[in-house]
Amino acid sequence: MSASVVRKKEYAAIVDPTPIEFPAIFFKAPIYLVHERRSDLYESTAAALSNKFFIDARIVDARGRVQRVRDARKVRGIGPLRGWNLFFNQRIEIQLDLELEQEQVQLEQLKRWIRESWARWSGWSAGGDLRERRAALARATTLAEVFEAVRERFERLPER
């Protein structure tokens, strides 16, 4: 096989077959993270990648599709000095190898995953608003309302 054919195959693998629509909830037991934009999900650190933080994670996007992360790879370093900092960790862009697990998540199933996360990790109560979040989640009747119930309540930095 020629080098150009190999490069074309590698490039084709980088394109997500089922793109994620944001916001998206990233589940990795016992926590979840709400990603408002693509860069929130596809930028990380070399330490997270080497510790296999992304492997077997579940992502639920704004349309309700559930995808499982089979693998994650470094694409490039991001920022000054190619992302390296004084602690010898690197800020990187990653590529996720995704597998479609469900075309449409059931609302009650998504709520159960969130409640299980709250039950497994005591850090959720540190924010002081867990009671309000539980009530908002119980009232939620749409995916958008579920996302709003679990969204972090702080000011975001502008997109780079």
155 lies in some domain: no
48 lies in some domain: yes
User: Which residues contact residue 140 at a Cβ distance below 8 angstroms, ignoring those fewer than 6 apart?
Assistant: 107, 111, 146, 148, 149
What are residue 142's phi and psi, to 5 degrees?
Answer: -135, 165
Pair of tokens at residue 150 = 């679990």
The model's pTM is 0.80
- The segments of the chain whose pLDDT lies below 70 read 1-18, 153-160
Q: How many CB atoms lie within 10 A of CB 82?
A: 11
* pLDDT for 18: 62
C-alpha span between 160 and 157 (Å, rounded): 9
Q: What is the tens place of the pLDDT at every residue in 74-118? A: 999 998 888 898 888 899 999 999 999 999 999 999 999 999 999
36 lies in some domain: yes
106 lies in some domain: yes
156 lies in some domain: no
* pLDDT for 22: 94
1 lies in some domain: no
Amino acid at 5: V
Q: Which domain holds residue 121?
A: 7-150
160 lies in some domain: no
C-alpha span between 60 and 58 (Å, rounded): 7
**Domain count of the fold of the chain:** 1
93 lies in some domain: yes
What are residue 43's phi and psi, to 5 degrees?
Answer: -120, 135
